């Protein structure tokens, strides 16, 4: 699948595009002008997203205030039909660059990175373990598994690849971090209440607001391999000082 990049994106040729159904990047002018509430999806899906209380950080990233900031895609994204994801072949990958200032909670009271608003959705959220953050990977308001602890105020690349019938693998900075074989992360039936996919807050499934900066965010309709996740990480890491 091709993507709609402009000349301001020199890394366009170096990311995985097969199965890409959603892509926003604050450094690409055709995605976001740095101040308006309109944020354009750069994949061929071409969604027009609505940003609430999103400002530009000193480094040019999306800045989320931890209390009211969110980006609404206006679409379920992970659903049947439109994006070729179904309850029988429900492979997907959620991916984001994050710089966390503070976090809270463990499951549904953690701070959403990206996730579905409805009770049967899936998503990644940053919680807290003791005094340090960790990412929770959750579905259906009941099932969660956790990746490794990391530190506040540093960039981290997170990707969750779910392969139906096999399980989930979470990658941190291009390397495998944790796995889960739980079937709860499979996509529910077409009649389930998924809600829109949102970034920064996914109420009512996950109530917390993300506090920090965020860079590129991508969603795929298949489970990326380890080499593909590493390709994406390597394509972007210089921009994030890694």
pLDDT tens-digit series, residues 109-147:
999 999 999 877 889 999 999 999 999 998 766 688 999
Q: pLDDT at position 195, please?
A: 85
Q: pLDDT at position 107, please?
A: 87
pLDDT above 90 as % of the chain: 67
Strands (E), the chain: 20-24, 38-40, 48-52, 55-56, 62-65, 70-72, 92-102, 111-116, 122-129, 132-139, 143-149, 155-163, 167-172, 175-180, 197-199, 211-220
- The answer for residues whose C-beta is within 8 angstroms of residue 7's C-beta and 6 or more apart is none
**pLDDT single digits (tens) 61-97:** 999 999 999 999 998 887 655 565 555 567 889 999 9
Q: Is residue 216 part of a domain?
A: yes
Average pLDDT, the chain: 88
Query: What secondary structure does DSSP assign to 165-197, as a single string?
Result: TTEEEEEETTEEEEEE--GGGS---TTS----E
Q: pLDDT at position 91, please?
A: 85
Q: Reply yes or no on whether the pLDDT at 7 is more than 50.
A: no
**Of residues 184 and 115, more confidently modeled:** 115
Query: What secondary structure does DSSP assign to 89-103, as a single string?
Result: S--EEEEEEEEEEE-
| Rounded average pLDDT over 155-166 | 92
Contact call for residues 211 and 110 (beta carbons, < 8 A): no
Q: pLDDT at position 88, please?
A: 54
**pLDDT single digits (tens) 211-233:** 999 999 999 988 999 999 999 99
Q: pLDDT at position 177, please?
A: 97
Q: Reply yes or no on whether the pLDDT at 50 is more than 90.
A: yes
Q: Is residue 6 part of a domain?
A: no
Query: How would residue 101 be classed by pLDDT, with cut points 50, 70 and 90?
Result: very high
Q: Is residue 1 part of a domain?
A: no
Q: Is residue 176 part of a domain?
A: yes
Burial of 129 (0-12, 13-18, 19+ CB in 10 A): middle
CA distance 220 to 120: 19
Domain at 27, CATH number: 2.60.120.200
Q: Reply yes or no on whether the pLDDT at 183 is more than 90.
A: no
- The answer for residues whose C-beta is within 8 angstroms of residue 1's C-beta and 6 or more apart is 17, 18, 19, 20, 21, 43, 44
Q: How many domains does the chain have?
A: 1
Q: Is residue 3 part of a domain?
A: no
Q: Is residue 76 part of a domain?
A: yes
Q: Is residue 2 part of a domain?
A: no
Q: Is residue 9 part of a domain?
A: no
Range of the structural domain that residue 228 is part of: 20-240
């Amino acid at each position: 699948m091709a993507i709609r990049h402009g000349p301001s994106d020199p890394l366009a040729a170096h990311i995985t595009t097969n199965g890409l159904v959603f892509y926003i990047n604050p450094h690409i002018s055709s995605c976001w002008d740095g101040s308006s509430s309109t944020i354009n999806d750069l994949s061929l899906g071409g969604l027009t997203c609505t940003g609430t209380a999103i400002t530009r950080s000193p480094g040019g990233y999306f800045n989320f205030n931890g209390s009211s900031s969110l980006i609404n895609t206006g679409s379920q994204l992970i659903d049947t039909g439109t994006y070729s994801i179904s309850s029988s072949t429900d492979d997907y990958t959620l991916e984001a660059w994050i710089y966390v200032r503070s976090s809270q909670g463990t499951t549904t009271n953690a701070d959403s990175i990206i996730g579905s608003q409805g009770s049967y959705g899936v998503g990644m959220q940053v919680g807290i373990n003791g005094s340090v953050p960790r990412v929770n990977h959750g579905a259906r308001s009941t099932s969660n598994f956790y990746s490794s602890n990391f530190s506040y105020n540093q960039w981290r690349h997170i990707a969750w690849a779910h392969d139906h019938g096999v399980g989930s693998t979470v990658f941190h900075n291009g390397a495998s971090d944790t796995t889960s074989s739980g079937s709860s992360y499979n996509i529910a039936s077409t009649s389930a209440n998924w809600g829109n996919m949102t970034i920064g807050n996914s109420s009512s499934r996950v109530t917390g607001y993300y506090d920090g900066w965020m860079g590129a965010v991508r969603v795929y309709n298949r489970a990326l391999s380890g080499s593909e996740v590493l390709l994406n990480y390597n394509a972007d890491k210089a921009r994030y000082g890694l």
